[in-house]
Amino acid sequence: MNKPDLMPDPQAIATAWMSQISDPNQWQSWFRMMPDMDALPGAALLRDAGAGVRPDVLDTLKNDYIAEFGALWQEFLAGRTPQLKDKRFAAPAWTSNPVTAFNAAAYLLNAKFLIAMADAVDASAHQKQKIRFAVQQVVEAMSPANFLATNPEAQQKLIETKGESLTKGLANMLEDMRRGHISQSDEKAFEVGRNLATTEGQVVYENALFQLLQYKPQTPTVHQRPLLMVPPCINKYYILDLQPDNSLVRYAVEQGNTVFLVSWRNADQSLAQTGWDDYVEQGVIEALRVTQDISREDKLNTLGFCVGGTLLATALAVLAARGEQPAASVTLLTTFLDFSDTGVLSVFVDETQVKLREQTLARGGLMAGRDLASTFSSLRPNDLVWNYVQSNYLKGNEPPPFDLLYWNADSTNLPGPMFCWYLRNTYLENSLKVPGKLTVAGVPVDLGTIDAPVFVYASREDHIVPWQSAYGSTLVLNPGRRERNRFVLGASGHIAGVINSPAKKKRSYWLNDDATAPADAWLAGATEHPGSWWPEWAAFLAEHGGKDVKAPAKLGNAKYKPIEPAPGRYVKQKAE
């Protein structure tokens, strides 16, 4: 009897497998085996996905799968190692053994056709996106790299260390369970105020929502108009002030700006009733007024990052309705004003899910930072979840120090009413961009009434704020004078694209002076430039910063005296 006779028929295997995944009952069986799968967006749709694929499409998928599986099987029988074009299987241990190489290749093939089947489901675009998201979570969770029994790298290290890697991995897992999150960085390597958020300054004002930081000038003269920075309240402000060589705050100070910055409080039960109006009125508008008072300038350069930009634009529109125009310029970094396309985050937002949040949080409570962090990690599970499961738990490695990932794990809570207002009025109903549709702080909001030049930055690979959506701000702001709007597109993602210091000499950015064209036309006519976009922004601030004046010798003033050194207490508060 020759070797092929000992092997099962590959076509029979492929046909049986495809029959299983196209059977709605099998989908439901898989869901019963997977913990917490019902919590995934699209889970209910996915359970019935097999019944939603047209028979002709399903036949095509089956035939394609059988052909590709058969080719893979023949390679295995011939002793040829399949190519594994996936970084999870790049280590030599995966290809040194024909069985583990075949196992990985079969997984990739199965994953490919599961995703193809999800894409083939006859459903609306939104339903299909949710189905695909749920399938992707299952597919990536079931990778052979995630299990000790099927991960040859982890097995090899187990043998080499005589079991020590497994002992260390279990210890790492237990410690992460105690912390409540998977460690992505060596958390003992960093401390806010010691080697993060070290730009010199003072807290010059505080209320229940935020502390206002003023930074010490580092140049003999400064631009007449100060810069007020409004970071997102979903994360802590020090993403803008990590370490000296990648701090946007320090860079702005070094460029001759008097910089003020909002440090949001990590919400606790005392803020459980706080709403969006409070963040606008008692947060951003109050920060604008204090900055005006200390600087004795009516006009300020302003910057908002992510939801901080949404809050800033809302606040400026509220002030415009009251007859005030405090902004000499507005900078928006990876910010939504038009929520028509919210990318992959839309899988978490529909009427049912928003109503569920409103039932539990709209009248008071906290949206836990841990839940927010899990949501964002699920958008990139291989990079932000399973990569660390493999390294920390299966191999017993300690994660290396990485300031950005340390910040990413430093969660913040949000007040429930504020979070629910934000979900419904922006992500779900996209009402903020409609003139007069929303009333905030007692006045109708019209973003088109903000009278200031605008600098809009987006990141090309941003999966949280798609760059085309960020570009949409140029359509909403200055509607009659869009030539006042400037758009810059940077490489990389939501955070790494923003935090791209010129000192690093990394990545690139695109410029096109015509911000009146549609997004795709803008990109087609744009020119790519090497390095950081920060100097372009610094030039924009200088253009609208007024004349140069002597740098202030003291921080604060007689009314707003320094309270404590930066970074202040609020940023050090941990989520409950």
Tell me which residues are annotated as active site: 306
CB-based contact 226:257 (threshold 8 Å): yes
Backbone angles phi, psi at 402, to 5 degrees: -150, 110
Angle between helices 152-160 and 164-179 (to 10 degrees): 120
What are the residues whose beta carbons fall under 8 Å from the beta carbon of 504, sequence distance 6 or more? Answer: 245, 246, 532
3-class DSSP state for residue 202?
A: strand
CA distances, 92 to each of 81, 87, 154 (Å):
11, 11, 12
Residue keyed to tokens 């740098």: 551
CB-based contact 288:326 (threshold 8 Å): yes
Please, what sign has the CA dihedral across residues 399, 179, 570, 234? positive
Closest by CA to 321, choosing from 461, 166, 489, 441, is 441
CB-based contact 148:396 (threshold 8 Å): no
What are the residues whose beta carbons fall under 8 Å from the beta carbon of 208, sequence distance 6 or more? Answer: 265, 270, 271, 282
Element (H, E) at 172: helix 164-179
3-class DSSP state for residue 64?
A: helix
DSSP state at residue 379? T
d(CA 566, CA 44): 48
Beta strands in 366-502 (DSSP E): 366-367, 414-415, 439-440, 443-444, 454-459, 485-490
d(CA 401, CA 240): 18
d(CA 543, CA 539): 6
CA distances, 510 to each of 464, 519, 522 (Å):
20, 12, 10
Tokens of 183: 């460690």
Closest by CA to 183, choosing from 199, 168, 198, 164, is 168
What are the residues whose beta carbons fall under 8 Å from the beta carbon of 230, sequence distance 6 or more? Answer: 262, 284, 287, 302, 303, 304, 305, 308, 309, 311, 312
